[in-house]
Structure 1
Amino acid sequence: MKRQLPIIAILAAFSIISGYMIHKMSWLAKVGIRWVYREYDIFKSWPKTSLMEFVVLMLLLAVHNAIFKYATVRNATISFIASVIIALFGLYYTYNDFRHELSHRLAGERFHIGFYLFWLGWIIIGLYSLARKRGNTTIA
């Protein structure tokens, strides 16, 4: 756990900044959430948004740790590369959606940056997992 404190601190910082940026959506987006899109009400509170994002990233890190611990080196590497590719597709889809969907375009740039930071955190977890070294095991 001590070895993972730097990555956890980075992800916590990303979550706080991301939650704050999502919270700073445009006035029109806040009205839309208030009257039409009630299921996105959590995005109006930056602590709740930050906590939700941090929990999701910690769950993803836990999955990566389990894969690292129990999978073979080859399967773990394939899983981590697949995770980074999924995150890149998610980042592209989010960018594309924010550029072409009117209701998301009206939410504002800060709102968009908050979601981009989430995907960047996911990519960091995948790259961190790829860069980790396995402990030397000796066969007695």
Structure 2
Amino acid sequence: MATTNGKAILIGIQAFLCILEAYLISKISLIGKIGIAMFYKQYRFLRTGWKTFLLLFTIQLLLILLLHLAKKRLPARKANYTAAVFLILAIIGLWGTYYDFQYTFSHRLLKEKFHLGFYLFWLGWMGTCVYYLAIKPAKQESAVALAEAAEEQMPA
């Protein structure tokens, strides 16, 4: 299983990426700011960097928690399938985001920095999935091995 140090580094990297993502997303174009202010009020939080950071970082932490619990409680094969499914979802999300930003006129007006923030979000998601696919599960000792070790420890 991954060390606590490895998970702390993963969370630190995700925090840094989320700060960068939030900064880029908050640099929305003037037309985008006007559109959000007038028509798409539900996306108002995207104009504020710290609110965007909290949302993106919470999502990343939930992903890390889900994959950690899967790695800890499921057999290795199922835990890897879980991480692979989330990786596929991230690839689909990245493709969908790219497609939407390229072919929806109003989203093209939001400019490259805004787009890059969301691309980084999906790349960070993929990085978490790859991390959990790469780490080895904790070695579980069998009951027989534990019994043999206990017998060796007993005085004769």
TM-score range, shorter chain: over 0.9
Task: Work out whether 1:116 is the aligned partner of 2:92.
Answer: no
Cα distance between partner residues in 2 of 1:24 and 1:3? 32
Task: Work out whether 1:41 is the aligned partner of 2:44.
Answer: yes
Write out per-residue CA displacement over residues 44-88 of structure 1, whole angstroms, 9 at most, x where no aligned residue. 001110111001100110000011011111111111111111100
Task: Work out whether 1:97 is the aligned partner of 2:100.
Answer: yes
Write out per-residue CA displacement over residues 8-38 of structure 1, whole angstroms, 9 at most, x where no aligned residue. 0110011000000000010000000000000
Structure 1, 69-78 or 16-25: larger mean CA deviation: 69-78
For 1:135, the equivalent position in structure 2 comes to 138
Cα distance between partner residues in 2 of 1:82 and 1:114? 23
User: Equivalent residues in 2 for 1:1-140 (5 A)?
Assistant: 1-139=4-142, 140=146
For the pair shown, the structure with the greater C-alpha radius of gyration is 2
Q: Which runs of 5+ in 2 are unaligned?
A: 147-156
Output the aligned Cα RMSD. Answer: 0.9
State the identity %.
Answer: 36
The normalised TM-score by structure 2 is 0.87
Structure 1: which 4+ aligned runs deviate by more than 3 Å? none
The normalised TM-score by structure 1 is 0.97
1:133 is paired with a residue whose SS is coil
Number of residue pairs aligned between Structure 1 and Structure 2: 140
Cα distance between partner residues in 2 of 1:46 and 1:40? 12
